[in-house]
Structure 1
Amino acid sequence: MHPSATFGVDADGLISLPPEAPPQAEYHALLDELRAALGAPNSPPLHSLYLYGSVARGTARPGASDLDLCLVLQHPADPSGLLHLENLRQALQARQPLVSKIDFDIGHLQQVLARENHDSWGYWLKHHCRCLWGEDLRRGLAPFRPSRRIALAVNGDFFAVLNDYATRLDREPQPHETLRLQREASRKLIRATNLLRSEQEPSWPHSLDEHVQLFVLHYPQMKGVIDEFRQLATATRPADAGFSSRLRQMAQWMSQQAAHPCPRD
């Protein structure tokens, strides 16, 4: 059972490439500051820097959206180098009201180019990122075809990640932090539903709404559940105290379904 028209792919059935409009003007100064800080002599040598998420797509909301970056280092960073990057990230985040959070995904050149990471790092750079600085590794990558293997490579950690979110939420006393964690967990859960796809599924979801659409197509009985998480992914106030329990339950259900995905194909 498939949508009447496929989505998220081009005429050849390959996953669509993201548009590359100029970054929103509000973020130019911040991105320039980041490039300068990461290229400083005391930082681990950087091979290339990539932007992804809402800022890369040009849909960010100043003061509300996260800033998401992939850092590809020339060599593996030692503990002091990683600590330097974390301190830099926290310092930038603390003095930048323009973004709610700054995230660094850190890898090194050999790791990113390794054959075993083609479906994770390779896919992510090609289809989610735009190069801000350095040699653009995306140029050496062909567009990917929809595959459950890619979904597993990107979100196969969902069970551990969602349960960690639930544990952190159980301990979090601050409403603003609770809201942030609930939103992040909901987005992770929704994107992870793509790994329940079959190998025959021709569509590839990009937005949260497309993930929900594809999930409900195959699991219509779960529409109410996934709609709740979709609402919480962009909520402006925290959900009730039962959220962490529902999150664990959904993670468990998804883990069970992952062994036999998409029974309605």
Structure 2
Amino acid sequence: MSENATSRGLDAQGCIQREGSLARVPHAFRPVVAAARDGLLEVFGVRLDSAYLYGSVPRGNARVGRSDLDLLVALRQEPTAADREATRTLGEALDKEFPQIDGVGTLLYGRSRLLSELETHDLGWFVACLCTPLLGEDLAEYLPRYRPDSLLARETNGDLALLLPRWRQRIADVENAEYAAEGRRPLVRFMSRHLVRTGFTLVMPRWNGWTSDLAEMAEAFGAYYPERAEQMRAAAVLGYEPRGDSAVLRSYVDDLGPWLAEEYARVHGIKAPRPD
């Protein structure tokens, strides 16, 4: 058994170890990463503070043609609408050029937001523990070490109740679109992953560790909530292999999601309000 398997993603002090590295990027995805790096430099130039990879690509378990490329970009100032549009355009170009990936997702923030006190146990933790440096200064140097405690659980996923109305609207928008089936698939993938991760962080302090593997997350959750275990296992499968199923989406916003939001608030409390 590997050291990571026995430590559950924690170091000798019980803090969450940073996952991923550029050395783990599979060979097939290295041209994609290089093009993303060059594209970000071209789009933002000196305004770019730092950029990171996260997700399956830097963890080394990305699947050709099925995994997406996940990026986080920090600018020296707060991003504008034009910056977000440029980021979206770059992502679409990368997705079109490289069949190895199934979409590009980019988070765009200002440096000050990522290092703010409000975001220390949410975006700050995300940068320090789940993101792999790609360009610029590593902001993790300015952030603390993190333990899998209730504070981290609350601040990462304690806002599900606020998200559910937006999810219902997104589902309605997709159902009213001309190509509804095509639009449902990415929604199923996104919502499945979000619910599994929320279920995992609900039990994370008791499980005492960190993992980004959806199947392992679902099993950890199921050990504490056996009555919901099969739902979470099914969501973990759909997080990797989504299908455009309206019934799945409805079950998320009408059953699993509301129950999980209520239980999360009971156990960990509500996430501190954000300006957006």
TM-score normalised over the length of structure 2? 0.82
| Secondary structure class of the residue paired with 1:50 | strand
Change (3 A) 1:202 1:183: same
User: What is the correspondence of 1:198-217 to structure 2 with a 5 Å cutoff?
Assistant: 201-217=207-223
Deviation at 1:74, TM superposition (A): 0.9
Distance 1:167 1:7 in 2: 37
Does the 8 A contact of 2:18 with 2:131 survive in 1? no
3-state secondary structure, aligned to 2:119: helix
1: CA distance, partners of 2:46 / 2:200 = 35
Match of 2:3 in 1: none
Aligned partner of 2:241 in structure 1 is 235
User: Aligned-pair distance for 1:28?
Assistant: 2.1
CA contact (8 A) 1:162 1:185 kept: no
Deviation of the 1:6 alpha carbon: 6.7
| Equivalence for 1:65 | 67
Aligned mate of 1:145, from 116, 130, 147: 147
8 Å contact kept, 2:24–2:59: no
In structure 2, give the amino acid aligned to 1:177: G
Q: Is contact 2:189-2:242 (8 Å) kept?
A: no
After TM superposition, give the deviation of residue 168 of structure 1 in Å: 3.2
2:227 corresponds to 1:221? yes
Please give the alpha-carbon distance, in whole angstroms, between the structure 1 residues aligned to 2:35 and 2:160: 33
Write the distance in 2 (CA, Å) between the matches of 1:235 and 1:29.
Answer: 24
CA offsets per residue over residues 164-192 of structure 1, 9 Å max, x none? Answer: 44443453444343222212211110001
Alignment correspondent of 1:94: 96
Partners of 2:84 and 2:137 lie apart in 1 by 22
How many angstroms apart in 1 are the aligned matches of 2:125 and 2:259? Answer: 27
Correspondences of 1:56-205 after superposition (within 5 Å): 56-170=58-172, 171-172=174-175, 173-197=179-203, 201-205=207-211
SS at match of 2:73: strand
Root-mean-square deviation (CA, aligned residues, Å) is 2.5
Aligned partner of 1:258 in structure 2 is 264
C-alpha deviation, 1:42, in angstroms: 5.9
Q: Which residue of structure 2 lines up, in the alignment, with residue 246 of structure 1?
A: 251
Distance in 2, matches of 1:184 and 1:131, equals 24
Give the paired residue count: 257
Q: 2:19, 2:130 within 8 Å by CA — same for their partners in 1?
A: yes
SS at match of 1:119: coil
- Which structure is higher in helix share? 2
Q: Give % identity.
A: 26
Offset, 1:35: 1.7
Structure-1 separation of matches of 2:47 and 2:204: 41
User: Which residue number in structure 1 is paired with residue 13 of structure 2?
Assistant: 12
Kept in 2: contact 1:179–1:238 (CA 8 A): yes
AA at the equivalent of 1:15: I
- 2:44, 2:217 → 1: CA distance? 41
Greater Cα offset, 107-116 or 134-143: 134-143
- How many Å apart are 1:92 and its aligned residue? 2.6
Q: Which runs of 5+ in 2 are unaligned?
A: 1-5, 269-276
List gaps (5 residues or longer) in structure 1: none
The change in CA–CA distance for 1:43 and 1:82 in structure 2 (over 3 A counts) is farther
The whole-number CA distance in structure 1 between the counterparts of 2:79 and 2:15 is 34
SS of 1:83's equivalent in the other structure is helix
What SS class does the counterpart of residue 109 from structure 2 fall into?
strand
Is the 8 Å Cα contact of residues 75 and 108 (structure 1) preserved in structure 2?
Answer: yes
Q: Deviations over 1:137-195 (max 9, x none)?
A: 22343431112222232223333445544443453444343222212211110001134
Q: Over residues 53-90 of structure 1, what are the superposed CA-to-partner deviations in whole Å (9 max), with x where a residue is unaligned?
A: 01111111121111000001011123323322222222
Give the structure-1-normalised TM-score. Answer: 0.85
Letter in 1 for 2:154: L
Partner AA of 2:32 in structure 1: L
- The amino acid that maps onto 2:143 is L
